[in-house]
Amino acid sequence: MSGLIGRKIGMTSLFNEKGKNVPCTVLEVGPCVVTQVRTKAVDGYDALQLGFDDKPERKVTNAAKGHFKKSNTTPKKKLVEFRNFEEEFKLGDTITVDHFKEGEFVDVSGTSKGKGFQGVVKRHGFAGVGQATHGQHNRLRAPGSIGAASYPARVFKGMRMAGQTGNEKVKVQNLSVVKVVTEKNLLVVKGCVPGHKNSYVIVQK
């Protein structure tokens, strides 16, 4: 779906019309520059490649410099393709946060915070096994049995066990747009979105 690239600023809270305190996330969305236009005739599908956040020229390859030169813009750090834009855009056009309206719903995807190697209680929400008394020593947060010995005599694929947690792509769907601040390119959405502060997010209608 159509959307824009942005950056997570942080969380805050706002009062709605009923006086209820609503937790919100502030996103800096756009301005995004159209760096490439995909067409069915050439590429087999229609899409727009958008660029966000300036990148120093000394860190850009000559091939990338030529790519950005076609759209008459500075090199960008983040490039993402979007489909199904209602409006027609040309190479070099700028799309701002005005693409979104208050009251509509958006999907926000980003990279979740990395937690490192974690056990099953933190990673999968296990309750822990056994009692804390009757000679129980150090098995409170252990995963328990992962399979029987005689049958099936193996551990099934996908068994929930300890391991790397976080640092993966996560999409949160149907977040309500609470406020659009055009002059500062800010989008305030209800609820929380994945990632740490200043991490890149993709906001789609």
Q: 110: domain CATH number?
A: 2.40.30.10
Sign of CA dihedral 173, 93, 99, 191: positive
Is 90 found in the same domain as 65? yes
Band (203; pLDDT cuts 50, 70, 90): very high
What is the model's pLDDT at position 1? 78
**Average per-residue pLDDT in the chain?**
93
Is 99 found in the same domain as 43? yes
Question: Is residue 102 over pLDDT 80?
Answer: yes
Question: Is residue 136 over pLDDT 90?
Answer: no
The Cα–Cα gap between 31 and 108 comes to 17
Is 185 found in the same domain as 108? yes
- Residue 201, both tokens: 């997010």
* Domain extent at residue 65: 3-117+169-204
Is 184 found in the same domain as 84? yes
Question: Is residue 132 over pLDDT 80?
Answer: no
The Cα–Cα gap between 76 and 31 comes to 12
Distances (CA, A) of 42 to 20, 37, 45, 47: 52, 10, 8, 11
201: which strand partners? 6, 110
pTM for the model stands at 0.85
Is 107 found in the same domain as 30? yes
Is 10 found in the same domain as 56? yes
Total domains present in the chain: 2
The Cα–Cα gap between 180 and 178 comes to 7
Is 74 found in the same domain as 7? yes
Is 106 found in the same domain as 150? no
Is 182 found in the same domain as 85? yes
Is 34 found in the same domain as 97? yes
Is 103 found in the same domain as 61? yes
What is the model's pLDDT at position 140? 86
For 150-186, what is each residue's pLDDT tens digit?
999 999 999 999 999 999 999 999 999 999 999 999 9
Band (144; pLDDT cuts 50, 70, 90): confident
Contacts of 90 (CB under 8 A, 6+ apart): 34, 37
Is 64 found in the same domain as 18? yes
